[in-house]
């Protein structure tokens, strides 16, 4: 079973069918004692002993959403059968934008599904737009961190969007929505173009509020239907905790000619109803 499957099993067993999902309900069910500590060497710590299992959460974690995610991550170490022993999890292990040990990636996947299960989230996503004002509302409705919510949003949304994390003015990581054209290449390691909102966030180092603007699509990528007049919506938020700027790029309208009159290589055709490229052989 995948880490997500263990999380889903627990939600079914406990009859949890609505947001927000409180991970404390799960620790109570499993008789796990939870305490907040003034730790400087970890965010979360799963300790198994003869007298029972305890989870310690660093009380200095700055938001409830992040604390919930950390607790859900430690529950993941407890519930995934291959995770044995104790786990002392530093901030970096909970950072989805860095390379981490496999067990930490698995605990993060478990936590994401426990707090933001796909079957509950997908039906409500259409009420939220792909910008950080709206995703922030979603995170408050779900009691989850903005980062975890944005990642899940991008991976499940029917909108044509992509979530990008950058640091030092370079692209570090991205997650395309299912309908985002795969041919629009986003290169990890590439410098952020001058003129984007993301670059203005990265360059002057000042902490700013989330913001949204229209931007030339060619600043970010090229591809079918994209020319110098194509624009998309760019929304940004600085994530100081992880040292990254999060960016969402969103095409509210199709970026290419649906009738295909301008570029008639018929390798792909566009299906208006589903926002997906389909191979004509399919
Ligand atoms: Zn961990």
How far does residue 66's CA lie from ligand 1's centre (Å)?
Answer: 14
How far does residue 80's CA lie from ligand 1's centre (Å)?
Answer: 11
Element containing residue 203 per DSSP (H, E): helix 197-204
How far does residue 73's CA lie from ligand 1's centre (Å)?
Answer: 6
d(CA 280, CA 35): 57
pLDDT recorded at residue 58? 97
pLDDT recorded at residue 270? 37
* Torsion angle in degrees (nearest 10) through CA of 4, 116, 105, 130: 130
pLDDT recorded at residue 271? 38
Q: Write the class of the CATH domain 3-115.
A: mainly alpha
pLDDT recorded at residue 254? 63
Kindly calculate the radius of gyration of the chain based on its CA atoms and give it in whole angstroms: 20
How far does residue 56's CA lie from ligand 1's centre (Å)?
Answer: 12
**3-state secondary structure at position 50:** coil
How far does residue 173's CA lie from ligand 1's centre (Å)?
Answer: 20
pTM value is: 0.86
Task: Starting at the earlier edge strand, list the strands of the sheet with 52-58.
Answer: 33-37, 52-58, 44-49, 87-89
The answer for residues whose C-beta is within 8 angstroms of residue 266's C-beta and 6 or more apart is 260, 280
How far does residue 118's CA lie from ligand 1's centre (Å)?
Answer: 22
How far does residue 141's CA lie from ligand 1's centre (Å)?
Answer: 25
Q: What's the Cα-to-Cα distance from 145 to each of 81, 111, 193, rounded to whole Å?
A: 26, 11, 28
Q: Write the class of the CATH domain 124-278.
A: alpha beta
Which segments within 82-222 are labelled E, that is strand?
87-89, 160-167, 170-176, 211-216
How far does residue 201's CA lie from ligand 1's centre (Å)?
Answer: 30
How far does residue 75's CA lie from ligand 1's centre (Å)?
Answer: 9
The answer for residues whose C-beta is within 8 angstroms of residue 15's C-beta and 6 or more apart is none
CATH 1.10.10.2910 in the chain, residue ranges: 3-115
How far does residue 84's CA lie from ligand 1's centre (Å)?
Answer: 12
How far does residue 87's CA lie from ligand 1's centre (Å)?
Answer: 6
How far does residue 186's CA lie from ligand 1's centre (Å)?
Answer: 29
The residues that bridge with 245 in the sheet, in sequence order, are 166, 238
The residues that bridge with 213 in the sheet, in sequence order, are 234
pLDDT recorded at residue 22? 97
In the block, tokens 């981490």 appear at 100
CATH 3.30.450 in the chain, residue ranges: 124-278
pLDDT recorded at residue 202? 65
How far does residue 175's CA lie from ligand 1's centre (Å)?
Answer: 22
The tokens of 129 are what? 């737009």
Q: Mean pLDDT by 10-residue block, N- to C-terminus, for the chain (282 residues)?
A: 97 97 97 95 96 96 94 98 96 92 97 98 95 94 95 96 94 94 90 90 62 90 85 90 90 63 40 37 36
Task: Starting at the earlier edge strand, list the strands of the sheet with 231-239.
Answer: 170-176, 160-167, 244-251, 231-239, 211-216
What's the angle, vertex CA 247, arms to CA 258 and CA 65, rounded to 5? 125
Q: Which long-range contacts (CB under 8 A, 24 or more apart) does 257-261 make?
A: 257/225
The tokens of 218 are what? 């060619």
């Amino acid at each position: 079973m995948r880490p997500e499957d263990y999380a889903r099993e627990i939600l079914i067993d406990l009859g949890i069918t609505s947001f927000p999902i409180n991970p404390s309900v799960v620790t109570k069910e499993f008789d796990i004692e939870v305490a907040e500590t003034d730790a400087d060497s970890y965010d979360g710590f799963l300790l198994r002993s003869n007298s029972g299992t305890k989870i310690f959460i660093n009380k200095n974690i700055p938001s409830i959403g992040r604390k919930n995610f950390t607790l859900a991550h430690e529950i993941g170490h407890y519930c995934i059968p291959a995770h044995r022993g104790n786990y002392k999890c530093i901030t970096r292990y909970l950072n989805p934008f860095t390379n981490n040990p496999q067990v930490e990636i698995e605990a993060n996947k478990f936590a994401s599904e426990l707090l933001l299960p796909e079957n509950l989230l997908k039906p409500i996503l259409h009420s939220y737009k792909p910008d950080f004002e709206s995703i922030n509302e979603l995170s408050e409705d779900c009691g989850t961190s903005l980062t975890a919510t944005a990642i899940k949003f991008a991976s499940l949304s029917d909108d044509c969007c992509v979530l990008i994390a950058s640091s030092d003015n370079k692209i570090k990581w991205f997650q395309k929505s299912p309908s985002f054209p795969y041919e629009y290449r986003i290169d990890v390691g590439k410098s952020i173009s001058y003129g984007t909102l993301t670059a203005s966030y990265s360059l002057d180092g000042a902490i700013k509020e989330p913001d949204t603007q229209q931007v030339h699509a060619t600043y970010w990528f090229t591809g079918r239907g994209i020319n110098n007049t194509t624009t998309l919506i760019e929304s940004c938020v600085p994530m100081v905790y992880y040292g990254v700027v999060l960016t969402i790029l969103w095409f509210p309208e199709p970026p290419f000619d649906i009738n295909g009159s301008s570029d008639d290589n018929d390798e792909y055709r566009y299906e208006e109803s589903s926002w997906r490229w389909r191979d004509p052989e399919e």
